[in-house]
């Protein structure tokens, strides 16, 4: 498949890119500074410069046949919604977006942990929710992951919908490798179009 990874130089984006290449896909890896995409050159890897605040740079890296996987994260409000709008406007075949469990559509099922997360996120919460909704309205899939950690892919990992979501445990962790694998599974065999999915370690 032709996959496009947004924020490919970040901690989750680099894992997504590496796993996608390992699975045999052709990857366009987007980062503000492509030189920070710490992966060796490959005929199946194209590193390109792109910034979500420059929608034209995103559009030039995305074609109608590509599936975009976003690992975009930020500590500033407004970036995620800007990114979601730029990606959707670029017209890819599908969008698979990384969000946070306990926000937006998963807040109610997450339980008390969602309130804590809302306090931590502050003015970034609305930005996250609006970005998610933009992707969902375009038929994309939004993965609401718990607290991310480094470490190997869980051998007992699974992906569930909101109807099977466990309470949000602030002490639990899910590895970036596990989340990346779940997002790539969705790219290869869509199971949650237009919906929120949860990548679980077990």
Q: pLDDT tens digits for 66-104? A: 999 999 998 888 999 999 999 999 999 999 999 999 999
Taking residues 108-112, report their average pLDDT: 85
Largest CA distance in the chain: 47
**CA nearest neighbour of 174 among 143, 197, 196, 153:** 153
Q: pLDDT tens digits for 51-69? A: 999 999 999 999 999 999 9
Q: How far apart are CA 77 and CA 201, in angstroms?
A: 29
Q: pLDDT tens digits for 111-167? A: 877 787 778 888 889 999 999 999 999 999 999 999 999 999 999 999 999 999 998
pLDDT at 88: 98
| 91 φψ region: left (φ > 0), alpha (ψ -120 to 50), beta (else) | left
pTM: 0.95
pLDDT at 85: 98
- Give kind and range of the element (H or E) at residue 99: strand 94-100
pLDDT at 26: 98
Q: How far apart are CA 143 and CA 183, in angstroms?
A: 7
CB 17 within 8 A of CB 27: yes
pLDDT at 128: 93
pLDDT at 117: 77
Q: How far apart are CA 1 and CA 76, in angstroms?
A: 32
Q: The tokens of 10 are what? A: 């970040």
Statement: residue 172 has pLDDT above 90: no
């Amino acid at each position: 498949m032709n996959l496009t990874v947004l924020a490919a130089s970040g901690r989750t984006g680099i894992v997504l890119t590496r796993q996608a290449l390992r699975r045999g896909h052709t990857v366009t890896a987007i980062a503000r500074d492509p030189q920070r995409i710490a992966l060796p050159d490959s005929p199946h890897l194209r590193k390109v410069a792109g910034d979500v605040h420059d929608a034209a740079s995103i559009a030039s890296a995305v074609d109608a046949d590509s599936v975009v996987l976003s690992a975009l994260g930020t500590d500033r409000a407004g970036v995620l919604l800007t990114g979601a709008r730029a990606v959707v406007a670029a017209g890819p075949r599908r969008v698979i977006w990384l969000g946070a469990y306990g926000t937006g559509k998963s807040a109610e099922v997450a339980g008390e942990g969602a309130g804590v997360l809302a306090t931590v996120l502050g003015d970034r919460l609305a930005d996250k929710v609006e970005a998610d909704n933009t992707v969902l309205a375009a038929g994309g899939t939004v993965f609401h992951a718990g607290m991310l950690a480094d470490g190997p892919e869980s051998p007992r990992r699974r992906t569930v919908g909101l109807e099977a979501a466990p309470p949000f445990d602030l002490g639990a962790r899910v590895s970036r490798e596990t989340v990346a694998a779940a997002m790539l599974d969705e790219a290869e065999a869509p199971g949650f179009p237009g919906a929120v999915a949860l990548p679980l370690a077990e």
